[in-house]
């Protein structure tokens, strides 16, 4: 399947191989290209975690909710913005679709973001600005195994009029 939107699926088991610098750049470009409520760019920011020290500290803090991936996208938004969660979600999807295009696995993880919200020291050490709330974590890496495509063509109720 060549359509990255249709080929994307949740991956929760990762090899430890690091991503290349070019791959990380592509993921960041995809994040930057995401829709942005009323063009208010300062509502949203992201931390890309690649270092082993920080990855280990992060997984410990969130009780392994990021599945041991070799790279994490932590997307945070201004606490008082009506666009925050929406911006974070569309940006996460951009990152996941781009990861798929690059042959990488990913998953949208809300639980890790919620756990991180309870660790202000780690939030500060990640460089997330004061007043911003972690909303989504997107672990990215090479999947340990190929997951067979499942048919999601009937997932949601869709009306055509």
Residues forming contacts to ligand FMN in the complex (CB under 6 A) are 9-10, 12, 107-111, 152
Residue 10 Cβ vs ligand FMN, minimum distance, rounded to whole Å: 4
Min. distance of Cβ 88 from ligand FMN in angstroms? 10
Q: Which is nearer to ligand FMN, 21 or 153 (CB)?
A: 153
Shorter beta-carbon distance to ligand FMN: residue 12 or 15 = 12
User: Whose Cβ is closer to ligand FMN: residue 108's or residue 132's?
Assistant: 108
Tell the smallest beta-carbon distance from residue 21 to ligand FMN (Å).
27
Minimum gap (Å) between residue 108 Cβ and ligand FMN: 4
Instruction: Quickly list DSSP for the chain.
Output: ---HHHH--B---B--PPPPHHHHHHHHHHHHTS--GGG-GGGEEEEEE--HHHHHHHHHHTTTTTTT-SEEEEEEEETT-TTHHHHHHHHHHHHHHHHHHTT-EE--BHHHHHHHTT-HHHHHHHTPPTTEEEEEEEEEE-BSSPPPP---TTSS-----
Centroid of chain to Cα 95: 6
Closer of 67 and 132 to ligand FMN (Cβ): 67
């Amino acid at each position: 399947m060549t359509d990255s939107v249709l080929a994307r699926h949740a991956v929760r088991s990762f090899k430890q191989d690091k991503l290349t610098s070019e791959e990380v750049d592509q993921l960041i470009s995809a994040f930057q290209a995401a829709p942005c409520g009323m063009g208010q760019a300062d509502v949203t920011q992201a931390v890309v975690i690649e270092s082993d020290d920080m990855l280990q500290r992060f997984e410990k803090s969130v009780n392994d909710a990021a599945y041991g991936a070799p790279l994490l996208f932590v997307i945070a938004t201004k606490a008082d913005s009506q666009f925050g969660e929406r911006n974070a979600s569309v940006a996460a999807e951009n990152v996941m679709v781009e990861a798929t295009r690059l042959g990488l696995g990913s998953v949208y993880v809300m639980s890790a973001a919620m756990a991180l919200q309870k660790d202000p020291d780690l939030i500060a050490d990640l460089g997330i600005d004061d007043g911003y709330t972690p909303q989504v974590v997107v672990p990215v890496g090479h999947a340990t195994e190929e997951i067979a495509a499942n048919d999601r063509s009937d997932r949601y109720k869709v009306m055509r009029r």
